[in-house]
Amino acid sequence: MKPKLSDLETLTRQAGEILCAGYGQRIQIDHKGIIDLVTDVDHRSEAFLLDAIRKRFPTHSVVAEESGVLRGEDSQVWYVDPLDGTVNYAHGVPIFAVSIAYTENGEIVLGAVYDPMLDEYFCAERGSGAWLNGNPLSVSDTADLNNSLLVTGFPYDIRINPENNLDHYANFALRSQGVRRLGAAALDLAYVAAGRFDGYWELSIQPWDIAAGILIVQEAGGTVTDVRGGPNHLSPTPSVLAANPRIHSQMLEVLQRNVKREA
């Protein structure tokens, strides 16, 4: 059995209700690292999603942020982030989302990102398009990097990782109208698809953070690669560069120039 976009909408919206119910309440927070957090709401949302997916699609594999890999058919794999933007959520910042992607034979087929605070549901189906609350999405038509608004993120080990993205951040801050940091990669990508941002890059990110957003950007007419211009595989810690096609090529040039200088 194969899922439909309507299945992903039901799942993300119901998980979003769990997030909203816990938002602003006293929650349990555990530290996976100095900066990396997990809350009891992450666990509740993920438990709901895993149970719902395995009941409806018992033979499928699921890759989830907190639970890891639940083995099933290798050809049908879900990527689940029950709460993208946990640090925001824990601090009461209303920028977070639920992100779900479904893949077949390594190709992302369906993707959904739901922002419960704004009730914005971004979704895409390969070959059919991308939508926000039922309206078609299209990336921006900004042609010059100097006129672009960009967004990025930083690794949780920013204090010790030499590839902490700060050098790229500085370079793009000097080449664009501005660089934002939302703290939720799924929304970063969704906003590129909606034309709100012209481009997004990140050096070290997890596949469940970006799988759904990658497809949404692609189906909205954007270009997605890794930061060296290669294919963006759903490897354990991929890098990502997503933008409208003209901005993508200019961002890639800046990134490659900096990488060559570091080599």
Domain match, 41 and 102 both: yes
Domain match, 92 and 184 both: no
| Listed residues 90, 113, 136: the one ending a domain | 136
Domain match, 52 and 74 both: yes
Contacts of 217 (CB under 8 A, 6+ apart): 130, 139, 189, 192, 193, 223, 224, 242
Amino acid, res. 199: G
pLDDT at residue 216 in the model: 99
Amino acid, res. 45: S
Query: How many structural domains compose the chain?
Result: 2
Domain match, 102 and 170 both: no
pLDDT at residue 212 in the model: 98
Domain match, 33 and 50 both: yes
Strand (E) or helix (H) holding 198: none
Structural domain for 224, as ranges: 145-262
Q: What confidence tens digit (pLDDT) does each residue in 83-93 have?
A: 999 999 999 99
Domain match, 46 and 152 both: no
Q: Nearest 5°: phi and psi at 199? A: -165, 155
CATH code of the domain covering residue 212: 3.40.190.80
User: 41 and 24 in contact (C-beta within 8 Å)?
Assistant: no
Domain match, 115 and 238 both: no
Domain match, 110 and 219 both: no
User: 179 and 168 in contact (C-beta within 8 Å)?
Assistant: no
pLDDT at residue 33 in the model: 54
CATH code of the domain covering residue 71: 3.30.540.10
pLDDT at residue 167 in the model: 87
Report the distance separating Cα 61 and Cα 226, nearest Å.
25
Directed axis angle between helix 185-193 and helix 207-219, to 10°?
A: 0
Report the distance separating Cα 65 and Cα 238, nearest Å.
15
pLDDT at residue 161 in the model: 61
Domain match, 57 and 151 both: no
pLDDT at residue 92 in the model: 95
Domain match, 15 and 101 both: yes
pLDDT at residue 263 in the model: 45
| Listed residues 103, 136, 169: the one ending a domain | 136
| Listed residues 110, 136, 162: the one ending a domain | 136
Report the distance separating Cα 210 and Cα 184, nearest Å.
10
- pLDDT under 70: residue ranges of the chain: 30-37, 156-164, 258-263
Domain match, 107 and 200 both: no
Domain match, 21 and 123 both: yes
